[in-house]
Chain A
């Protein structure tokens, strides 16, 4: 009796699992298509001559083919040429993002350590204020920044400088850095630190020698996140640094889309070039970034 009923049941089970396999694989293909089709379109557009971007039907291979869109980013360097603007934007992006990352790691992790360890009234409130400051949209602060920079603080000559960009980027990611790093510090058992201090190390020494090496993954995660955020910034250079001394790659790509001519192929090439560093970061260190972001939710 048992054998008789078990057989069709098993067959049904096998059939449903086969259907669910097909379902999973078709969903996987769908997600892949959704993810890769726009990327493919960006890359082939960057390898087309201009006529290939405005033809109907649109060629779905890079035809007519050219490397020229990439070549103009690096050759014929003269003031106001495309390569001049690209290379300046690249330099500014690298300088501003790197400096922002460094400052954020130093100030942010120091503050996070105190907010995790010190016995201090209102340290949760302070953490929350930092986090809230990060939730404030840049747009809400850009007008006072602009007015302060060109009026009361005009003596400091900050307008159109990388210095100003670094100061502002830093303040915008500081809250997130503090929030994530605090989670990391709290996950380290305090006994480790106390043991070091029993052996005679001061609090500062124990911080540098014991705690920092243990939070290295967290530092890496927050550092990369900060780097990505400042690499992506657009509104600050738009308002406060629209000149070659301060604008960054996003602003450069935006400036390529002129009022009269919209050269899709050049825009795509600039886009591919400026996307390479963040894409490499995500491909190689994506795991660290994810663990950093989730660490903030796991409270000690």
Chain B
């Protein structure tokens, strides 16, 4: 922390003096500036979170008549959570969610850094290349979903099937967006992958998602790489360090802060994969977010839906805690 004290902290004062100071001094203006954001946080994040928790402890159903709903909340305690934790499909959904997240992050770190390193080379047309590479990130998620839906279409006129058929790489079209097991010839591998949440549809969706998200990762990492002074590499070359060694010892540590930002931005989307999966699969690939939505808005059991939501929120906050702790490591 280098932000310096603006003024010395007030010495011990009576309550009346403190209130007077708070209202008359410039601190009052400062708090006034902070107030709207705090109110928004309480009203739109904290209260709904608590309300979701309350609903998750009941057998909640609602009836909406002419825009006015009445709520029926029968207290059942931890029943919803217990039946969730005993349900194998919940654990499968959890594994699928984590698979999506872990594989996405791994691809982004490896391929993303690779793309950034490529953009950091000097070659003809580098400036225009950087601009073009950035475009997919701007495409709205639903458009991206529809686009990859057309590419992965299971008929022979799906773009990918069309190409593979014409190159005679496959004999019949593949239904890319079907959650079927991979490697059906090798039973143990197929079962293990299915258990971990990996199936054809999941991996196709990851590919579509990466098309949109790799550019921002690569460009942020590139921005981090460009802040590294050339002299570091020159010194390393003089010492005879190999390219890999230079990358491990110079590049990687110095782009670590940017990588943290990337991880935070991507975790914000950890369970926001909803849009892509819902538009392409509806309820066909029941990751946690889809389950929560389905419980509430397809089955009308808001208690169960809230329980799933609350668990999603909890997982996200646990991950957020570790990231933020890393981000503020020097202060905590």
CB contacts (< 8 Å) of A38 on chain B: these are 136, 147-148, 151, 211
**B37→A137 contact, CB < 8 A:** no
List which A40-56 residues lie within 8 A (CB) of chain B.
41-42, 45, 53-56
- When chains A and B are docked, how far (Å) is the Cα of A34 from the Cα of B321? 35
Are the C-beta atoms of A41 and B142 separated by less than 8 Å? no
Q: A143 near B270 (CB under 8 angstroms)?
A: no
Against B, the Cβ 8 Å flags (1 = close, 0 = not) of A170-182 are: 1100101010000
Residues of B within 8 A of A257 (CB): 146, 149, 279
Distance A83 CA – B317 CA, assembled complex (angstroms): 42
A147 touches B55 (CB 8 A): yes
Given contacts A54-B157, A117-B3, whether A143 and B296 have CB atoms under 8 Å apart is yes
- A124, A139, A204 interface centre (most CB from chain B within 10 Å): A139
* Shortest Cβ gap from A124 to chain B (Å): 6
Question: A147 near B51 (CB under 8 angstroms)?
Answer: yes
Determine whether the beta carbon of B139 is less than 8 Å from that of A111.
no
Contact partner of B306 (CB less than 8 A), chosen from A143, A239, A249, is: A143
Q: How far is the CB of A123 from chain B (nearest CB, A)?
A: 9
**Docked CA distance A298–B258 (Å):** 9
Name the CB-closest residue of B to A168: B44
Report how far A124 CA is from B330 CA in the complex, Å. Answer: 12
Contacts of B162 in A (CB 8 A): 56-58
Do the beta carbons of B36 and A107 come within 8 Å of each other? yes
Q: Which residue of A lies closest to B323 (CB)?
A: A135
Q: Report the bound CA distance from A264 to B68 in whole Å.
A: 38
Chain B residues with CB below 8 A from A296, complex form: 261
* Nearest CB of A to B153, in Å: 8
A144 near B223 with CB under 8 A, answer no
Q: Give the residue of A45, A107, A168 whose beta carbon is less than 8 angstroms from that of B150.
A: A45
Contacts of B274 in A (CB 8 A): 137-139, 235
**Chain A positions within 8 Å of B305 at CB level:** 143
For residue A182, which residue of chain B has the nearest CB? B3
Chain B residue contacts of A56, Cβ below 8 A: 155-157, 162, 165
Is there contact, CB below 8 Å, between B313 and A136? yes
Would you call A25 an interface residue if the criterion is a C-beta within 8 Å of the partner chain's C-beta atoms?
Answer: yes
Write the nearest CB–CB distance from B132 to chain A, whole angstroms: 6
Q: Is the pair B275, A118 in contact by a Cβ cutoff of 8 Å? A: no
Inter-subunit contact A35/B133 (CB<8 Å): yes
Chain B residues with CB under 8 Å of A267's CB are 146, 150
| Chain A residues within 8 Å of B37, by CB | 107-108, 110-111, 130, 174, 178
Q: What is the chain A residue whose CB lies nearest that of B6?
A: A119
Decide if B40 touches A174 in the complex (CB within 8 Å).
yes
Chain B contacts for A298, CB-based, 8 A: 257
CB distance from A229 to the nearest CB of B (A): 10
Given A56-B157, A232-B140: A36 in contact with B292 (beta carbons within 8 A): no
Among A62-70, A73-81, A275-283, the stretch that binds chain B is: A275-283
Bound-state Cα–Cα, A124 to B331, Å: 9
Which A-chain residue is minimally distant from B135 (CB atoms)? A279
A107 contacts across to B, CB distance below 8 A: 36-37, 40
A-facing residues in B103-125 (Cβ within 8 Å): 115, 118, 121, 123, 125
User: Which of B11-19, B27-35, B184-192, B195-203 sits within the interface?
Assistant: B27-35
Q: Mark B143-177, 1 if CB is under 8 A from A, else 0.
A: 10011111100011101001001100000000000
Check if A290 sits within 8 Å of B141, measured CB to CB.
no
CB contacts (< 8 Å) of B1 on chain A: these are: 124
Please indicate the chain B residues that have their CB under 8 angstroms from the CB of A108 in the complex.
Answer: 37
Chain A residue numbers with a CB within 8 Å of B292 are 139-140, 143
In the complex, the answer to whether A294 meets B49 with C-beta atoms within 8 Å is no
Is the pair B52, A154 in contact by a Cβ cutoff of 8 Å? Answer: no
Decide if A213 is an interface residue (CB 8 Å cutoff).
no
CB neighbours of B148 from chain A (8 A)? 38
Expressed in whole angstroms, the Cα–Cα distance for A152 and B133 within the complex equals 47
18 pairs across A/B with beta carbons < 8 Å? Answer: A35-B135, A35-B211, A45-B150, A124-B328, A128-B328, A137-B313, A143-B55, A144-B306, A147-B60, A228-B138, A234-B275, A235-B275, A235-B293, A250-B143, A257-B279, A279-B135, A290-B223, A294-B220
Additional 8 contacts, C-beta under 8 A, given A151-B62, A294-B261: A35-B135, A42-B147, A111-B38, A115-B34, A118-B30, A171-B41, A239-B293, A253-B143
* A interface with B by C-beta (< 8 Å): 21, 24-25, 27-28, 31-32, 34-36, 38-39, 41-42, 45, 53-58, 107-108, 110-111, 113-120, 124, 126, 128-148, 150-152, 154, 157, 159, 167-168, 170-171, 174, 176, 178, 186, 190, 202-204, 228, 231-232, 234-235, 238-239, 249-251, 253-254, 257, 264, 267-268, 271, 274-275, 278-279, 281-283, 286, 290-291, 293-294, 296-298, 300
